[in-house]
Amino acid sequence: MHALAVVVLAAGKGTRMKSRRPKLLFDLAGRPLGAWPVAAALALRPRAVVVVVGHGRELLVPALRARFPRAPLRFAVQREQLGTGHALRCGLAALPRGVRRVLALCGDAPLVRPEPLRALLARTGERPLGLLTSVVAHPAMYGRIVRDARGRVVRIVEHRDATLAERRLREVNPAVYLFDLAFLRRSLRRLRRANAQRELYLTDVVALAARAPGGVADLPVPFDDLRGVNNRGELAEAEDAMLDRIRCRWMAGGVTIRQPQTVRIEAGVRLGPDVEIGPGAQLLGGTVVGRGAAVGAGCILRDTRVGPRAVLSPYVLATGARI
């Protein structure tokens, strides 16, 4: 998809994490939080992935470069926090030549998968804008999707600017957009800070697209695949969901996991066929377990290689070992 570029918005301060550490460097299942959406973007094979950074960029940029050393990563700096529209405008300045479409997503949404992104590319076609939507029981502070009588998306209203009737809407904006680049450039120039936050809202582009030829393409997806992380409670929930994905993938591939909800297997771990893992085990970092090996209950292995058919008794602790 050489006409595609992805912009990952990652300049926020993350104040609700209550930490000096940049939010996107918090660990989630063995990878930095911000590495997950970047990996999903790279799976689309775009011409470039531009990460818009701000707070903590002196730590975030080298961490992402080290994680993806051969990837077409670029970085743009948002020096002032003037809203998502302003952040994307900063990102556009780093695009390479030849880009026709821009996919924008948030850097704090680690559960996003490549599959709905590919589906959005197909659904949008030549329209000026496509976006993902989700229906949730409790919309909280998310922007609401507003449709007309024919069911077409006509705008997004942010929670702080919504009327009581609009706040009762349950279809929300998970902040994944696909833009025609020429349309996006024109639209960003038209944004104004006439809202409760006094910011340039990227969501205001939706109303402009709804009035343009072709209108807005929308694709509903489960909210659990797109939810963001704003505090440590949400980080824990997102990590639980990611660890469950990892366990399910290994079990589907021929690994036995006893009491799987008690077992932690991080993203960088590799397991051979017919491996068996006991309750409460933790496989961390770059641990490799060979074919037919058994890892006993409560073992904690970090960056450790376990040979084929090896049997580990319960509660083995190992770091950087060969067994």
Which whole-number Å values give the CA distances from 315 to 231, 287, 306, 318, 322, in the listed order?
32, 16, 15, 10, 16
46 closest CA partner among 138, 121, 145, 136: 121
By the 8 A CB rule, do 84 and 78 touch?
no
Phi, psi torsion values for 135, nearest 5 degrees? -105, 125
Q: Is the four-CA dihedral 46, 52, 57, 60 of positive or negative sign?
A: negative
DSSP, collapsed to helix, strand or coil, labels residue 5 as strand
Q: How far apart are CA 272 and CA 74, in angstroms?
A: 35
Per the structure block, which two tokens stand in for 49?
Answer: 């992935």
Query: Rg for the chain (alpha carbons), in Å?
Result: 22
Phi, psi torsion values for 115, nearest 5 degrees? -60, -50
Phi, psi torsion values for 229, nearest 5 degrees? -120, 115
Q: Is 123 known to be catalytic?
A: no
Catalytic residue numbers, as ranges: 16
